[in-house]
Chains A and B, each alone.
Chain A
């Protein structure tokens, strides 16, 4: 096979797969331009007429923007807390030797294996006792806590790959461990940090149950919780739900697109066995 035929085949395959990915999303986007009646009778075709009311209604509603702001605030704060705490923990796991290190690390890793829904009742009681209901910290802290396992695991692997010579050189220059951590290790670990930040932001962005249970004051509702406004007791306003869901996707996808280059680099840096 000549190189150009090869290229063509590759393009073709990629386009087909890309289409399979994009079409359902496109379906959703177009669905937002229809009303429920059209969705029933004309689900596959272009909207006729184009109903812009769903999208404009949501974008013009102050409630949506407040929910967007809440989601953003909570996602960013969660990422900061989890990456900060994890980097510190991963640092000592990767570069210090102490008794009980592996057992402790396994404890963190075990947190991956527990379904969140069961933790919700004890968590709720705890948050109430601490007075964190209707408080964004009541969502940020548990999300960060449940994100610790993944983040620590990824960061530890990455921190391990920093050669010992770099650390020795820093120590010789009079740097204490904290200084090494802050001034040398973290800047070197940018790809990995970007990776775990994206994961933290995405997970927080999509979390529904925790904000639902913690926030009774609707001013604090995040985007996933806000979609309920379009779902009634007996029927969903599916067209509006679609529009809402599509709009909510955009910031998450945008953030990912920006961080994507870092993401692959970060994964590459850490996958070395």
Chain B
């Protein structure tokens, strides 16, 4: 008999739900709105609005006083891409990212694996390795200006002891970028190491132990079992590293000012120079928009292509390397 069909099936496909279900649905949406409201209000007013203003200003030649009046369209953008200093900034960003991926992250990974072994004082080591992350970039720069000061610094003393000449590491256009990379690594490798440690702790020991019992070497166990399982963590770490490198400002500004002769300049430093020292706010805004677009494009690409397996299609990140 057709009466055995549940009454629900007989409800017509009308958009307006009724009854308890409707109340529940509307209640849920109200909850969503209420819970989102504070964050959204803060964000729209204090973050999105300034970004839009910067976007607007980037189409003008403007010295920051009064209102932008001199519309130049995309001129600021073409100027940026034609400027040797800015092009150099892009190149230097790539170099720094490359160095991080090839040097900094593997070292952090290796140390995380080491520290994962039962070791007395492991907690103390973790504490010390992460500590530089907590210091401000300005503090780090002040310390390292001393460390690397020519003729007098720690670096120079050490180098002389080793027979080399490190006194001018920040003064030589050829080496300054690498000196900068050293300082960046000092500050941030602990952060990545802790990230890998946390990820490692989520992988059951039994997996690699079983492999070793089956005859695999420690290295093989690591390479074929642990490493792939660490994949999501590594991908997050790489993402943060790239975004953070693009934004690098405070440390560079205090350590080298971008010099000598732009050899250590980053996009953010160039932007600050033009905005706050040369009073070319329209151009500086254009640079910041370029930085934003590049980061965003990278994030979208990374999420779609690299992290597809890890997530359901949303950007997932861990802390920020600023």
Contact flag (A, B; Cβ within 8 A): yes
What does DSSP make chain B's interface, helix, strand, loop or mixed?
helix
**In the docked arrangement, what's the CA distance between A12 and B38, Å?**
50
Nearest to B287 among chain A residues (CB) is A118
Q: Are B50 and A89 in contact (CB under 8 A)?
A: no
Whether A273 contacts B231 in the complex (CB less than 8 A), given A114-B51, A126-B50, A142-B46, comes out as yes
Q: Are B143 and A119 in contact (CB under 8 A)?
A: no
Whether A28 contacts B315 in the complex (CB less than 8 A), given A14-B115, A111-B43, comes out as no
**In the docked arrangement, what's the CA distance between A267 and B198, Å?**
6
Query: Is residue B236 within 8 Å, beta carbon to beta carbon, of the partner chain?
Result: yes
What does DSSP make chain A's interface, helix, strand, loop or mixed?
helix
Residue A119 contacts which of B51, B186, B247 (CB distance < 8 angstroms)? B51
**In the docked arrangement, what's the CA distance between A92 and B28, Å?**
10
Nearest-neighbour CB distance to chain B for A92, whole angstroms, equals 5
Query: Is residue B71 within 8 Å, beta carbon to beta carbon, of the partner chain?
Result: no
Residue A112 contacts which of B121, B154, B320 (CB distance < 8 angstroms)? B320
Of B2-10, B85-93, B132-140, the one contacting chain A is B132-140
Q: Across the interface, which residues of B come within 8 angstroms of A253, CB to CB? A: 131, 134-135
Q: Are B38 and A84 in contact (CB under 8 A)?
A: yes
Residue A18 contacts which of B39, B51, B125, B276 (CB distance < 8 angstroms)? B125
Query: Is residue A21 within 8 Å, beta carbon to beta carbon, of the partner chain?
Result: yes
Q: Are A22 and B128 in contact (CB under 8 A)?
A: yes
Query: Is residue A55 within 8 Å, beta carbon to beta carbon, of the partner chain?
Result: no
**In the docked arrangement, what's the CA distance between A177 and B36, Å?**
13
Whether A112 contacts B194 in the complex (CB less than 8 A), given A85-B38, A106-B315, A260-B127, comes out as no
Whether A154 contacts B46 in the complex (CB less than 8 A), given A115-B247, A256-B131, A271-B199, comes out as no
Nearest-neighbour CB distance to chain B for A209, whole angstroms, equals 9
Of B11-19, B74-82, B145-153, the one contacting chain A is B145-153
Q: Are B314 and A118 in contact (CB under 8 A)?
A: no
Between A41, A120, A150, the greatest number of chain B beta carbons within 10 A of the residue's beta carbon is seen for A150
Q: Across the interface, which residues of A come within 8 angstroms of B102, CB to CB? A: none
**In the docked arrangement, what's the CA distance between A208 and B249, Å?**
12
Query: Is residue B304 within 8 Å, beta carbon to beta carbon, of the partner chain?
Result: no
Whether A7 contacts B119 in the complex (CB less than 8 A), given A21-B132, A43-B149, A115-B249, comes out as yes
Query: Is residue A122 within 8 Å, beta carbon to beta carbon, of the partner chain?
Result: yes
Contact count band on A:
35 or more
Of A56-64, A162-170, A197-205, the one contacting chain B is A197-205
Query: Is residue B238 within 8 Å, beta carbon to beta carbon, of the partner chain?
Result: no
Q: Across the interface, which residues of A come within 8 angstroms of B198, CB to CB? A: 264, 267-268, 271
Whether A44 contacts B157 in the complex (CB less than 8 A), given A145-B47, A153-B315, A273-B231, comes out as yes
Q: Are A14 and B36 in contact (CB under 8 A)?
A: no
Query: Is residue A31 within 8 Å, beta carbon to beta carbon, of the partner chain?
Result: yes
Query: Is residue B232 within 8 Å, beta carbon to beta carbon, of the partner chain?
Result: yes
Q: Across the interface, which residues of B come within 8 angstroms of A268, CB to CB? A: 198-199, 201-202
Query: Is residue A76 within 8 Å, beta carbon to beta carbon, of the partner chain?
Result: no
**In the docked arrangement, what's the CA distance between A259 and B63, Å?**
45
Residue B126 contacts which of A11, A205, A264 (CB distance < 8 angstroms)? A264
Residue A113 contacts which of B135, B285, B295 (CB distance < 8 angstroms)? B295
A–B complex contacts, Cβ < 8 Å, 10 sampled: A43-B157, A102-B313, A114-B288, A115-B268, A115-B288, A150-B317, A271-B198, A271-B236, A272-B232, A273-B231
B residues with a Cβ closer than 8 A to A are: 27-29, 31-32, 35-36, 38-40, 42-43, 45-51, 53-54, 64, 111, 114-115, 117, 119, 121, 125-139, 142-144, 146-147, 149, 152-154, 157, 186, 190, 194-195, 197-199, 201-202, 231-233, 236, 243, 246-247, 249-250, 268, 271-272, 275-276, 281, 284-285, 288, 291-292, 295-296, 299, 309-311, 313-320, 322
For the complex of A and B, list the 9 residue pairs with the smallest distance between their C-beta atoms, beginning with the closest: A273-B232, A206-B136, A113-B295, A145-B46, A119-B50, A268-B198, A89-B39, A273-B310, A118-B288
